Amino acid sequence: MEKPLVGLLLLGLMAEPAWAQTDVTKYVRYSVRDRISYGVLEDEVIWELAGDLFQSPRTTGRTVPLTGVELLAPCEPSKVIAVGLNYQSHLGEREPAEHPGLFAKYPTSIVGHGADIVMPPDATDLHYEGELVIVIGREAKNVPLAEAGTYVFGVTAGNDVSERAWQRGDLQWLRAKASDTFGPIGPVIVTGLDHNNLLVQTRVNGEVRQSERSSDLIFDVETIVSYVSRYVTLMPGDVIFTGTPGSTRAMAPGDVVEVEVEGVGVLRNTVVAQRAR
């Protein structure tokens, strides 16, 4: 983030809503002493924000060191949409579809950086899917392709956790994709990046498993936003997982999964077995 933006926030001079800003800025949602706030991250210091993150937030003047907070999922979406089979490297020899293939995850699947990915006791084939995630900045319905980019607030990193046995066997992907903790996102939302040319990497226990640029997406960010908005009204804070590259493998309790998006940082989560009740 550029220092002048913090100054403008402090002075209350930001005339444009946050989603309209072109500055490279990192936004976080965090908890400290049981108090949840949004903030702007700059040089390992968080400037607390008040007001609507997607309209005209302002700083309170209070700061807290990054090391003194718990980072939460950086937004609270009302809807979590995902695009499947959106890299040729993931499709393999199959032909791309004519339109983005959509499915939904539940908001209750969303967790933040550092949270556990909880593996249900009957899960047998749980996979990671590192992805670039779009965060919507304003209400979007029937958005023309040429205007779709103006509805994107910023981007974050995401892991579309997927249980492949359930994915193959169930009538729908509800369990396979939308179970609790199956949608880690974070650690920050970043505005002002070129979302159509960012490196997306996934590491498991330090080993690189996926690595590709968002420029290789079959359907780019603008196409996805425009297409989704034909059928679903997107609201500020809603998120769209854009698809995963390459191949994936099964995870096990104890595995540490890192999804890194260029300019965003590293989303890190540990797989744990669900405790018996």
**213 in Cβ contact with 192 (< 8 Å):** no
Of 26, 9, 1, 2, nearest to 155 by C-alpha is 26
Q: Does domain 3-71 have CATH number 3.40.50.720?
A: no
Q: What is the pLDDT of residue 104?
A: 98
Q: Which of 13-22, 53-62, 246-255 has the highest mean pLDDT?
A: 246-255
More confident residue, 7 or 219: 219
**227 in Cβ contact with 99 (< 8 Å):** yes
**182 in Cβ contact with 117 (< 8 Å):** yes
**105 in Cβ contact with 66 (< 8 Å):** no
pLDDT tens for 220-277 read 999 999 999 999 999 999 999 999 999 999 999 999 999 999 999 999 999 999 986 6
Q: What's the CA gap between 152 and 30, in Å, rounded?
A: 22
The average confidence (pLDDT) of the chain is 93
CATH topology of 3-71 equal to that of 80-273?
no
126-127 and 162-163 strand pairing? antiparallel
pLDDT tens for 122-134 read 999 999 999 999 9
More confident residue, 151 or 6: 151
Q: What is the pLDDT of residue 16?
A: 56
Q: Is the pLDDT of residue 3 over 50?
A: no
pLDDT tens for 192-214 read 999 999 999 999 999 999 999 99
Q: What is the pLDDT of residue 7?
A: 53
Tell me the mean pLDDT in the region 137-145. Answer: 98
Q: What is the pLDDT of residue 11?
A: 45
> Looking at the whole model, is its pTM more than 0.85?
yes
DSSP letter (8 states) at residue 68: G
Of 90, 14, 82, 74, nearest to 41 by C-alpha is 74
Q: What is the pLDDT of residue 50?
A: 96
Confidence band for 45, pLDDT divided at 50, 70 and 90: very high
Q: What is the pLDDT of residue 20?
A: 64
Which residues pair with residue 50 across a beta bridge? 58
Q: Is the pLDDT of residue 76 over 90?
A: yes
Q: What is the pLDDT of residue 13?
A: 38
User: In whole angstroms, how large is the CA radius of gyration of the chain?
Assistant: 18
Residue range 80-273, CATH number:
3.90.850.10
Q: What is the pLDDT of residue 200?
A: 98
| DSSP strands (E only) in the chain | 25-32, 35-42, 45-50, 58-65, 70-71, 80-84, 101-105, 110-111, 116-119, 126-127, 130-136, 152-159, 162-163, 183-191, 199-204, 207-213, 239-241, 256-261, 265-273
Q: What is the pLDDT of residue 17?
A: 62
Q: How far is CA 69 from the centre of its chain?
A: 20
Chain position carrying tokens 């998120």:
239
Amino acid of residue 176: A
239-241 and 80-84 strand pairing? parallel
Tell me the mean pLDDT in the region 165-182. Answer: 98
**Sequence ranges of the domains in the chain:** 3-71, 80-273
Q: What is the pLDDT of residue 258?
A: 99
256-261 and 199-204 strand pairing? antiparallel
Which residues pair with residue 152 across a beta bridge? 136
Which pair of structure tokens corresponds to residue 13? Answer: 């001079």
